[in-house]
Structure 1
Amino acid sequence: MDAQGHGRCVVVFPALPLLKGRYSITSYLFCEKGLHIYDLADQSISLDVTQQGVEQGVVTLKHAWLTA
């Protein structure tokens, strides 16, 4: 945090398996108990995701089919 009280935080997602589409990001800064909202950035970022496959939906999750 700088002298004016400004700082930044970074979140890293090692994998974010989003499928094709446009996604808007809204972020909140909460107190340590998650009760008080200090700040809000509503739809401050937009992501356009492309894909090569034909999957449909929002995400593609790693999975395996098992037989019993």
Structure 2
Amino acid sequence: MTICLQAEDDSPGYIARIVEFFETADQEPYFKAQWFYRAEDIVIYKENAHFIDKGRVLSGIQDDNPLKCIVSKVIW
């Protein structure tokens, strides 16, 4: 499932694929996310982002996040 996650500032939300759901030792609901990046998210391309396709690129980067940061499901 692909989801939109809450951004820390006024930027567009982040997009990730849920790899797995789990609970912490404190029984907090979490999920492992695999991240998609926009051209402007990639530092090397930031100043040239307007030249890059507006699509997102799935990365190999994964990390754990609290379930409450999910904003919505993304429908492609």
TM normalised by structure 2 equals 0.28
TM normalised by structure 1 equals 0.31
Greater share of helix residues, 1 or 2? Answer: 2
Greater share of strand residues, 1 or 2? Answer: 2
